[in-house]
Amino acid sequence: MKNPKDSDAWKELLLLSAEFKHDDFSLAQLFEDDDRFDSFSVSHESLLLDYSKNFVSNESFAELIQFAEHMQLPAAINALFAGEKVNGSEGRAALHTALRAPDNEGGNKEVSACLNKMESLVKAVHSGSWKGFSGAEITDVVNIGIGGSDLGPSFVCDALADFSTGKLQLHFVSNIDPAHLDNTLLNLNPATTLFLVASKSFTTLETKQNAEAAKAWLLESAPSTDSVKHHFVAITTNANAAKAFGIDEQNLFPMWDWVGGRYSLWSAIGLSIALSIGMDRFRQLLAGAHSMDRHFQSAELGRNLPVIMGLLSVWYSGFFAAQTHAVIPYSQRLQQLPAYLQQLCMESLGKGVDKNHESVNINTGEVVWGAPGTNAQHSFFQLFHQGTQFIPVDFIAFIESCGIGADAQERHEQLLANCLSQSLALMEGKSSSENSYQDIPGNRPSTTLLVDKLDPYNLGSLIALYEHKTYVQSVVWNINPFDQWGVELGKSLSSEIFAAIQDSSSAANFDQSTANLVSRIRNHPA
Ligand code: F6P
């Protein structure tokens, strides 16, 4: 695959982008075309993507599609679903889509066996037949994991809290900062707590240390090490390491090297989700994602939601120098979405070398950030409206309310009104001839995803949409979205520095700054 910048389509896009950079360009005026909304919106089931408030014309949009074709996006989509080794640097497939495919549509036997095993565990814990060391039922579940083994499950459990069976309290511990585990355990009873050690590799420092500390906490109260089997479950590809930790063979759930960590919430890494909402609803989550998979695989490029969203990001970073992309869910339940997307998008797309081992000469990746609306309106939206940065925004809203209190529907409608008013204000701005401080330039693009309601099925679909959007960007940029070599360097350096903090004789030849920081930590009175 060639460098995207060498293509005729790239050159054509560069010319077409000029239209949107003129001083007299008005995004709002594009709506003088009565068909604009119909031309630049598309639905999949209950999910509407309105991208009409973006810098696109019929011509530029058609050219973006041509560009995607030139970069062989259709073949790359087929390769993903066919299980080809799309993760070239690690020689692996990326078959997260197989985790949510029914048996007759690309699913596999190992996945269904794993789902059945998850179902048995969920039933046992919910029914109370799973007992802790004292014979008491489980009341609390603590997921110990980090990155993909934490962010997806934690985000989804929070997002679907209204669908929880209410039988269990879920907790997530990721940080090696002792405050995270210690504060979580403070109010828990070892006799009624179940730990899920979620780690694809079972070598991640944070997870191993937290799991060891949790085991020690349990064994302070439990009669013997045999109790570990009543309180610890592991999800991993590394069964031997989990067994060496003391986890009973029966309590091991598989992971596979063809599932990337940040794409793994659909596997047994999502056990915490299944324990929270029950297995039927977990399967609805999978079904929603599968439906988005089918759409991604079969819809024509110009009507394909992940393709459109991915190409818009490519357009803005390549031709408008966008460095960041904001995602604003108008839903308190989706408060963890930005953090989840940060790993999905930035660990996947933070790459400076292309698939030909050559340095990329275009902007790849983008800083993804955000916070729920309306809160964000009162913190950083000022910069959207009058700042000098170019920041495309995704607004996400649900038509139905999750609220249960008095007037919930009316308050929800206020929420929706705020969401719509922000995209309108960003587009139209407001000119003030008397006071330049009050001049709001407008012409700031945004996309709105309007979904009927927040439920497991639609959430599955929404997450899969962003997964595939990320894949589209990677294909067009010709980079591998499924590795993360950069993360490894920090990990290996931290063990050298840890040794130096513990024992000065092992201090390596650190630079002056690091050496002095280590020394100050070492010399701090205990
Ligand atoms: O941060 C790097 C990373 O490798 C992520 O990609 C992954 O999700 C996370 O660490 C946790 O890895 P594991 O599940 O192997 O503990």
Note whether 76 and 68 are within 8 A (CB).
no
- CA 249 – CA 234 distance, rounded (Å): 9
- In the prediction, which pLDDT does 5 show? 87
Q: Which of 365, 311, 307 is nearest to 64 (CA)?
A: 311
- The response to whether residue 238 sits with its C-beta less than 6 Å from ligand 1 reads no
pLDDT for the residue 276: 98
Q: Is the CB of 463 under 6 A from ligand 1?
A: no
Say if ligand 1 is within 6 A of residue 444 CB. Answer: no
DSSP code of 138? Answer: P
Q: Encode burial over 198-222: b for 16+ CB neighbours within 10 A, e otherwise.
A: bbbebebebbbebbebbbebbbeeb
Q: List, as one string, the DSSP characters of 6-44.
A: GSHHHHHHHHHHGGGTSTT--TGGGGGSTTHHHHTEEEE
Instruction: Check if the beta carbon of residue 390 is closer than 8 Å to that of residue 39.
Output: no
Instruction: Please give the distance, rounded to the nearest whole angstrom, from the Cα atom of residue 208 to the centre of ligand 1.
Output: 12
List all residues 6 or more positions away from 501 whose beta carbon is below 8 Å from its beta carbon: 518, 521, 522
Spans of the chain below 50 pLDDT:
none
Closest CA to 61 of 295, 318, 297, 301: 301
Beta carbon of 200 within 6 Å of any ligand 1 atom: yes
Instruction: Give me the pLDDT at residue 406, please.
Output: 79
243 classed as catalytic = no
Beta-bridge mates of residue 291: none
Closest C-alpha residue for ligand 1 atom 10: 147
Ligand 1 mean position, distance from CA 347 (Å): 10
Nearest CA residue ID for atom 16, ligand 1: 199
Give the distance (Å) from ligand 1 centre to CA of residue 266.
Answer: 15
CA distances from 105 to 7, 119, 285 (A): 36, 21, 17
Q: Does residue 199 have its Cβ closer than 6 Å to ligand 1? A: yes
For ligand 1, is residue 146 a contact (CB within 6 Å)? Answer: yes
pLDDT of residue 1: 63
In a 3-state reduction of DSSP, which class is residue 328?
Answer: strand
Calculate the alpha carbon distances from 325 to 12, 259, 261, 308, 447 in Å: 24, 26, 23, 15, 11
Unique residue bearing structure tokens 């595939």 = 468
pLDDT of 122 reads 98
Residue type present at position 143 = N
Distances (CA, A) of 54 to 27, 150, 364, 427, 443: 8, 34, 20, 9, 9
Instruction: Tell me the per-residue pLDDT of 84-100, one tens digit each, with 9 for 90 and over.
Output: 999 999 999 999 999 99
Please give the distance, rounded to the nearest whole angstrom, from the Cα atom of residue 56 to the centre of ligand 1: 37
The single residue of 2, 110, 491, 496 carrying the catalytic annotation is 491
Known catalytic membership, residue 32: no
**3-state SS, residue 324:** strand
Q: Is position 491 annotated as part of the catalytic site?
A: yes
Q: Does ligand 1 come within 6 angstroms of the Cβ of 255?
A: no
Q: Is residue 285 within 8 Å of residue 157, measured between CB atoms? A: no
Q: Which atom of ligand 1 has the smallest separation from the CA of 206? A: 16
Torsion angles phi and psi, residue 71, rounded to 5:
-85, 10
452: left (phi over 0), alpha (psi -120 to 50) or beta: alpha
Give 147 Cα–ligand 1 centroid separation in angstroms: 5
Residue 432: its pLDDT value, please? Answer: 78
Whether 276 lines ligand 1, by a CB cut-off of 6 Å, is no
Closest ligand 1 atom, CA of 198? 14
In this structure, which amino acid lies at residue 280? Answer: D
- 206, 347, 366, 467: the catalytic one is 347
User: Atom 3 of ligand 1 has which residue's CA nearest to it?
Assistant: 147
**Cβ of 51: how many Cβ atoms within 10 Å?**
23
Q: What pLDDT does residue 493 have?
A: 82
